[in-house]
A and B are shown apart, each in its own frame.
Chain A
Amino acid sequence: MTDRLLTWTLGAATLMVASLIAIIAAFLLNESLGMLNRVELGRFFTDSGWSPTMSRFNILPMIVASVLLMAGAVIVAAPLAIFTAVFLRFYAPSPVIDIGRRIIEVLAAMPSVVYGLWGLVVLVPIIAAWQQPGASLMAGILVLSLMIFPTITIVVHSGLAAMPRHYIEASQALAMSRAYMVRQVVLPAVRASIAAGITLGAARAIGETMAVMMVTGNIVAVPGDLFDPVRALTSNIALEMAYALGDHRGALYISSLLLLSIVILLVLINEFIVSNKLEH
């Protein structure tokens, strides 16, 4: 009886969440399709610029900015996060483990506007002293990597903690050094967790709005180097939605749909990596 009840409750909850996602996706798709009837898809990549009030809809610079921000943040944060997780699991003395984990949990839960504020007040001036204007792709990448570092660390660490203890026993009994065990046994064994952590971090990076908006300068242009200001897709939506009308609004819906698609793509890539877990 309780079992049936549980099955139904869980089923209903799952259905509700799934339909919520479907509703959001359908809404975005619907709004976007209306727009696509009026404006051809290619124009979002070939128009001469982004001035939607004058019917110029090129969102390519913002796609490039978002992808660069995400990739940069992952490249900076992932190695550090994996290193930290391994350190906390295999090398740190126990008082350090406890303190380290608390700090990382707090970092993971910190509101993004706080990261943005720190970036704006501390990081941007430092970068500006080095190379003007300061608010830049670089500032965005650094703030984002700081944000996704704890996320990736937590996921990888829980993968390490859940790894069967007998892998460690087997490695030790085979006279492996700790470093060799970590490289050759532990990290390959938790590949799925590493992939999941990176996916989650990347999704957070590409979806992050507030912190990115505060430190990247928000100029719509393909960046020439790391010190150029950029505008992310997310920032663009947040900055303009309040006053956007008609096709302008439609273009922002298309940006949202694009963000959703990128996140879905990330999840699919993760899925693919996990299902190919076994290598030669």
Chain B
Amino acid sequence: MDRITEATSYIQEQDSSSGNICLCTESLCLSYGTRAALENVNLRIPSRAVTAIIGPSGSGKSSFLCCLNRMTDLCCSTTIEGSVRLGEHDIHRDLGKNPIALRRRVGMVFQHPNPFPFSIWKNLALPLKHHGVRNKQELSSVIEQALRRVGLWEEVGDRLRDSALTLSGGQQQRLCIARALVLEPEVLLMDEPCSSLDPLSTKCIETLIGQLKNSYTIVVVTHDLAQARRVADHVALFWNADGVGRLIEQGPAARVFQHPEHELTTSYLEGQL
């Protein structure tokens, strides 16, 4: 379908984009086995800003996110064409067979909070130890810092040895964010991070996203348009056309929400679809 629209909005964005581009995909196609899930996605993700990916379910938003840190490698039958560039590297070619270096730079938070079934301390210490922080003093200070950053220190600072599974859903999700941040990634991918949380926890995480964007590039998938309006600097709309996910519009949030270029965007934003 609208190749031309895609192309023009791509060129426009290139001209008008402020700041650096952190991640960008070129003609990215993804298929699971023989079934295509994404086709020709050209998305530019500016650094130190929040890019919201919106769209109906099944439009390939999660799949797209998984291409960005190669979580797609976990399903053995996926094929990826086109490229994903992080800085000057093509993550599927230059970073070779080993995605570990990439995943240090591109962290991820999942739709359902997924702490390990260990203590709060151990949840944060495991990734740190793996990447060389062994000194107990240093571990403590990094862990405290990480918990403070997500506002958990006041709530759980005195019971770090308790199981992470005893925390509430919202606390677990913030712990997962803290865990992703201890490795100091450049990019944080979040797949519907609030979809299983109550309104208060959701607000808490939205505030957190607002603070984190000063230091990180954030890509957040959300099916909640109101949330996208609240947190996003840039918006990308994915659409499911004939069973294949495509990017149909992208741009600064204010522009996309006020003057959508694509008629599907207009109807989607007005809630007609």
Given A168-B74, A169-B74, is A175 in contact with B100 using a C-beta cutoff of 8 Å? Answer: yes
- Check: B183 CB closer than 8 A to any chain A CB: yes
Asked if A189 and B117 sit within 8 Å, CB to CB, the answer is yes
- Check: A278 CB closer than 8 A to any chain B CB: yes
- Check: B63 CB closer than 8 A to any chain A CB: no
Contact check: which of B118, B121, B122, B179 meets A174 at CB < 8 Å? B179
Q: Which residue of A lies closest to B122 (CB)?
A: A280
Asked if A166 and B179 sit within 8 Å, CB to CB, the answer is no
Asked if A278 and B110 sit within 8 Å, CB to CB, the answer is no
Asked if A174 and B117 sit within 8 Å, CB to CB, the answer is no
Question: How far is B112's CA from A177's CA once the two chains are assembled, in angstroms?
Answer: 23
Question: How far is B117's CA from A173's CA once the two chains are assembled, in angstroms?
Answer: 16
Asked if B114 and A172 sit within 8 Å, CB to CB, the answer is no
Asked if B127 and A175 sit within 8 Å, CB to CB, the answer is yes
Question: How far is B108's CA from A174's CA once the two chains are assembled, in angstroms?
Answer: 8
Question: How far is B131's CA from A140's CA once the two chains are assembled, in angstroms?
Answer: 45
Residues of B within 8 A of A175 (CB): 99-104, 127, 130-131, 183
- Check: A108 CB closer than 8 A to any chain B CB: no
Asked if A173 and B69 sit within 8 Å, CB to CB, the answer is yes
Asked if B121 and A173 sit within 8 Å, CB to CB, the answer is no
Within 8 A of B (CB), among A42-76: none
- Check: A184 CB closer than 8 A to any chain B CB: yes
Q: How far is the CB of B145 from chain A (nearest CB, A)?
A: 17
Question: How far is B116's CA from A180's CA once the two chains are assembled, in angstroms?
Answer: 14
Residues of B within 8 A of A176 (CB): 100, 126-127, 130
- Check: B71 CB closer than 8 A to any chain A CB: yes
Residues of B within 8 A of A188 (CB): 118
Within 8 A of B (CB), among A236-280: 277-280
- Check: A185 CB closer than 8 A to any chain B CB: yes
Residues of A within 8 A of B119 (CB): 278-280
Contact check: which of B110, B122, B163 meets A166 at CB < 8 Å? B110
Residues of B within 8 A of A277 (CB): 117
Asked if B118 and A278 sit within 8 Å, CB to CB, the answer is yes
Q: How far is the CB of A238 from chain B (nearest CB, A)?
A: 44
Q: Which residue of A lies closest to B76 (CB)?
A: A94
Chain A contact residue count (CB 8 A cutoff):
21
Asked if A173 and B126 sit within 8 Å, CB to CB, the answer is no
Asked if B74 and A185 sit within 8 Å, CB to CB, the answer is no
Q: How far is the CB of A219 from chain B (nearest CB, A)?
A: 49
Asked if A177 and B74 sit within 8 Å, CB to CB, the answer is no
Asked if A189 and B127 sit within 8 Å, CB to CB, the answer is no
Asked if A170 and B100 sit within 8 Å, CB to CB, the answer is no
Q: Which residue of A lies closest to B161 (CB)?
A: A280
- Check: A167 CB closer than 8 A to any chain B CB: yes
Q: Which residue of B lies closest to A184 (CB)?
A: B126
Q: Which residue of B lies closest to A163 (CB)?
A: B117
Contact check: which of B99, B126, B163 meets A185 at CB < 8 Å? B126
- Check: B107 CB closer than 8 A to any chain A CB: yes
Contact check: which of A164, A173, A177, A185 meets B71 at CB < 8 Å? A173
Asked if A169 and B163 sit within 8 Å, CB to CB, the answer is no
Asked if B114 and A174 sit within 8 Å, CB to CB, the answer is no
Interface string of A172-216 (1 = CB under 8 A from B): 111111001000110011000000000000000000000000000
Question: How far is B114's CA from A177's CA once the two chains are assembled, in angstroms?
Answer: 18
Contact check: which of A170, A180, A185, A280 meets B110 at CB < 8 Å? A170
Asked if B116 and A189 sit within 8 Å, CB to CB, the answer is yes
Question: How far is B163's CA from A201's CA once the two chains are assembled, in angstroms?
Answer: 30
Question: How far is B183's CA from A185's CA once the two chains are assembled, in angstroms?
Answer: 17
Residues of A within 8 A of B108 (CB): 173
The residue in A164, A169, A175, A189 that gathers the most chain B C-beta atoms within 10 A of its C-beta is A175
Contact check: which of A164, A166, A172, A185 meets B103 at CB < 8 Å? A172
Question: How far is B130's CA from A280's CA once the two chains are assembled, in angstroms?
Answer: 18
Question: How far is B107's CA from A188's CA once the two chains are assembled, in angstroms?
Answer: 24
Q: How far is the CB of A94 from chain B (nearest CB, A)?
A: 9
Q: How far is the CB of B165 from chain A (nearest CB, A)?
A: 9
Within 8 A of B (CB), among A140-161: none
Q: How far is the CB of B131 from chain A (nearest CB, A)?
A: 7
Residues of B within 8 A of A164 (CB): 114
Within 8 A of A (CB), among B67-111: 69, 71, 74, 99-104, 107-108, 110
- Check: B253 CB closer than 8 A to any chain A CB: no
- Check: B146 CB closer than 8 A to any chain A CB: no
Q: Which residue of A lies closest to B129 (CB)?
A: A184
- Check: B209 CB closer than 8 A to any chain A CB: no
> Contacts A170-B179, A174-B107, A174-B130 given; 4 further ones with Cβ under 8 A?
A173-B107, A173-B108, A175-B100, A175-B131
Residues of A at the B interface (CB closer than 8 Å) are 164, 166-170, 172-177, 180, 184-185, 188-189, 277-280
Write 24 A-B pairs (CB below 8 A) sorted by A numbering: A166-B114, A167-B116, A167-B117, A169-B71, A169-B114, A170-B110, A170-B116, A170-B176, A172-B103, A173-B69, A173-B108, A174-B126, A174-B127, A174-B183, A175-B104, A175-B127, A176-B100, A176-B127, A177-B100, A184-B129, A184-B130, A188-B118, A278-B163, A280-B119
What are the 5 A-B residue pairs with the smallest beta carbon separation, nearest first? A175-B103, A173-B108, A166-B114, A174-B127, A175-B104
